[in-house]
């Protein structure tokens, strides 16, 4: 018991240490203590810390001033909290999966209203939901009404389309727009096609042959 307690007490500072090590030399020194404190807070709340570290690294790479980096990380922490709350209200039992929190935070950043996110969560009670969230966000990015976009994706889920293919649904709707249909027509046409929307093309042999693996990529 003492061992577990000791490990638990050590875990927080260790996470913060690893964050600090990644930030040093890449983020203005003045920002590191504040960012570090926000990372520790996120960790204590059971939230993913990687998006916060990424935001700080992004600010450092873009040569943004320390106060703006701290402010951006603070905004990111707020989005993660909102995402966690939405997941809990949507029926996920706490502690929620860090990956799902990140997914929902993405959806919010991409402009999905909270109630729309919640509808998708209810339609997909189990992870992974990233494809569904991005599919709805893609529709919203193409100026589809968020509720109508969510309706289409939820209909696709209802038709048994695997999460991976949901991005093909939003792509099909965008394609119908390019063909000159109105938003309502595009949604209706794709809904008729369900579940047989065209699949996105696989990478060609040439692309696979050309592909290079960057040094130590970091998963999202």
Partner 1 sequence: MNAIDPRIHQALDGELAPAALSAELSRVVERLVTAAALLAAPLPLASLESRVMAAIRRPVPSRARRLLRWLATPRAITFRVRPVWSLAFAAVVALLTLFPLGHEGPDIGEHEGIAQFVGRFPGAQSVHVVGSFNDWRSGSIALEDVDQDGVWRATVVLPTGAYEYMFVVDGERWVPDHLAERLVADEFGRENSIVIVRPARR
Q: Which residues bind partner 1 (CB under 8 A)?
A: 22, 26, 54-55, 57-62, 64, 68, 71-72, 75-76, 106, 109-110, 130, 134, 137-138, 141, 164, 167, 174, 199-200, 202-203, 205-220
Q: Decide if 53 contacts 39 (C-beta within 8 A).
A: yes
Q: How many CA atoms lie within 13 A of 209 on its CB side?
A: 3
Using only C-alpha atoms, the chain has a radius of gyration, in whole angstroms, of 20
In our burial notation (b when 16+ CB lie closer than 10 A, e otherwise), range 34-53 reads bbbebbbbbbeeebbbbbbb
Which C-beta is closer to partner 1: that of 53 or that of 87?
Answer: 53
CB of 8 to partner 1, least distance (A): 28
Which C-beta is closer to partner 1: that of 40 or that of 54?
Answer: 54
- In angstroms, rounded to a whole number, what is the distance separating the alpha carbons of residues 167 and 139? 10
CB of 1 to partner 1, least distance (A): 37
CB of 198 to partner 1, least distance (A): 13
Determine if the peptide bond prior to 195 is cis (ω within 30°): yes
CB of 108 to partner 1, least distance (A): 10
Q: How many CA atoms lie within 13 A of 58 on its CB side?
A: 12
Residue 41 is given by DSSP the state H
Which C-beta is closer to partner 1: that of 55 or that of 119?
Answer: 55
Q: Decide if 97 contacts 127 (C-beta within 8 A).
A: yes
Which C-beta is closer to partner 1: that of 58 or that of 85?
Answer: 58
Determine if the peptide bond prior to 160 is cis (ω within 30°): no
CB of 124 to partner 1, least distance (A): 16
Which C-beta is closer to partner 1: that of 51 or that of 90?
Answer: 51
């Amino acid at each position: 018991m003492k061992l577990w307690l000791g490990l638990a007490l050590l875990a927080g500072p260790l996470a913060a240490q690893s964050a600090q090590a990644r930030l040093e030399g890449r983020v203005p020194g003045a920002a590191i203590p504040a960012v570090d404190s926000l990372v520790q807070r996120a960790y204590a709340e059971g939230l993913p810390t990687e998006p916060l570290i990424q935001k700080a690294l992004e600010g450092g790479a873009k040569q943004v001033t320390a106060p703006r980096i701290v402010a951006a990380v603070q905004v990111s922490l707020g989005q993660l909290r909102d995402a966690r709350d939405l997941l809990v209200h949507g029926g996920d039992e706490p502690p929620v999966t860090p990956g799902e929190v990140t997914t929902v935070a993405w959806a919010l950043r991409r402009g999905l209203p909270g109630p729309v996110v919640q509808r998708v969560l209810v339609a997909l009670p189990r992870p992974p939901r990233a494809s569904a969230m991005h599919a709805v966000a893609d529709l919203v990015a193409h100026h589809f009404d968020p509720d109508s976009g969510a309706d289409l994706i939820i209909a696709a889920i209802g038709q048994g389309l695997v999460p991976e293919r949901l991005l093909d649904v939003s792509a099909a709707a965008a394609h119908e727009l390019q063909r000159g249909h109105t938003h309502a027509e595009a949604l209706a046409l794709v809904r008729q096609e369900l579940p047989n929307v065209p699949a996105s093309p696989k990478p060609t042999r040439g692309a696979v042959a050309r592909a290079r693996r960057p040094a130590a990529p970091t998963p999202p």
